[in-house]
Structure 1
Amino acid sequence: MPQPSPWFATPADAADRLAAAGYLADPATAITAYLAGALEKPLLVEGPAGVGKTELAKAVARVTGAALVRLQCYEGLDEARALYEWNYKKQLLRIQSAQGTDQSWSETHDDIFTDEFLLTRPLLTAIRREEPTVLLVDEVDKTDVEVEGLLLEVLSDFQVTIPELGTVSAVRRPFVVLTSNATRELSEAVKRRCLYLHLDYPDAEREREIVTSQVPDLDDRIAGQLVATVGRLRELDLKKSPSIAESVDWARTLVALEIGELDEKAVDDTLGVVLKHASDQARAVQELRLRR
């Protein structure tokens, strides 16, 4: 049976340790992170891009000393990239070297389907690790629906079946985080196996705490101006709204340039740090000027 891994002692312990690693978790996030470890259930984190979903998994790995194994999802992802594949070139060399010997085909077959020829991908890698592991399945909504079937065996029983080798079960269950930007609805089968957490952009006070914790040299007054401006930008119909990470980058930019006032010129000069589309920048400049 898999050995239980006490990732966090309590929700308060989760909040404190994540905060020490630079991730300010609200009560719902701290409770859900604690439960994911205590109940050994995967955690599905859903919300818009840039709200800290991926960073949560990274923070859990940092504070617990666990290795982070990441499966970056994308359209066209298949079993060979998610689970495992065989090293066909190496197998072919072994077959060729066995020709002209007394070794039978069945013996050669058994020889080439061993760990020596197995190329493990993120899902199988995380299952096989004996050390504490955080498995991040990032942007799962970008995959095809069929790929979710690959996840079900892992999420249900923390095991992977390899026809040539049998079933590989986790010795130590990983802490699993699946992230989704909600670009499509995930199957009920996947959701049923997970705890669920929805993350959204924080309110102004919370974002100010996050920014100042990451950029302690930022003046309090500038921090307030930055957070207010980012909030207004997120109200606009943009191709890509500013993420929390981009708020932090903007704060670091203002400190590096020794900007003491987030006035019109400062915004114009540094807006490319938070908005990465020319059309978004043009719209933002126009709207911000109208509101001044």
Structure 2
Amino acid sequence: MIGKTPRWTIAIVGVIAFIWIIPILGIIVTSVRPPQDVTLGWWRLDTIRFTLDAWFRVWSEYPLASAFVTTAQLAFIATISTMLLTPAAAYAFHFLKFPFRRLMLIIIINAFVLPQQVVIIPLFQLWRDLGLLDNFASVLIPYVGLSFAWSIFLVKNFLEDFPKELVEAGRIDGCGPLRIFWHIVLPNSLSPIFAVAILQFLWTWNALLLPMLYLRTDVPLPVLLTRVSGTYELNWDLRSVAAIVTTIVPLLVFLIFQRQFAVGSETRTGAKE
């Protein structure tokens, strides 16, 4: 029987949640109040005025809509590519036998400790020689490739507890490796796949370093957010609007994928029972 949650635990969680909400509330208030009213602090109630000038200025002075579309395209393609390639790679490393399998897996997983800053200069030279600068491929390839270090490790750990009897039954029925992967392993691995999708989408949506270096014409929202600043003024109201637009989609996508993640976990638990 599950006991009642102690009140002190609820109080501590409530305080932490309140601390996390304060910056979000500050961004929202700053975006709808005149700059002169929030100069000394957005929480001041000396004069309470609201305006949507910052919202109209951001959309008119900066290519926010274009950056939004670019960010969505990059995040969608990178997430779908990782969701398709990662389970296949994890399945191959776990169930198939081929030369240098263990060595290749160690090399891929060890890439997790490799900082992005180490590869940006060699990648820049490579993309320049191939003519891929200012091309979506220059950021999509690192997005997907660098994610293999943790995504393959995550899915492969899930497959450690995968019932091998199902795979053996598929082989007895005459299924090849591809059919076993597509009809047996993949449908029963939705839980880690959606976890990978959540992490990959959040990372690619908020990525700043690679797009800032390799893209020039069409830039995503994080890069545009760095440009929403004046020379002699801070433009906190404009930055707040851009920050809200940048973060609202990852929040919604996380909630949607979290539901699917929970469904996948329940399905797996029910299958075991």
| Fold-level similarity (TM above 0.5) | no
Higher helix proportion: 2
| TM-score normalised by length of structure 1 | 0.20
Higher strand proportion: 1
Bigger RCO of structures 1 and 2 (CA < 8 A, at least 6 apart): 2
| TM-score normalised by length of structure 2 | 0.21
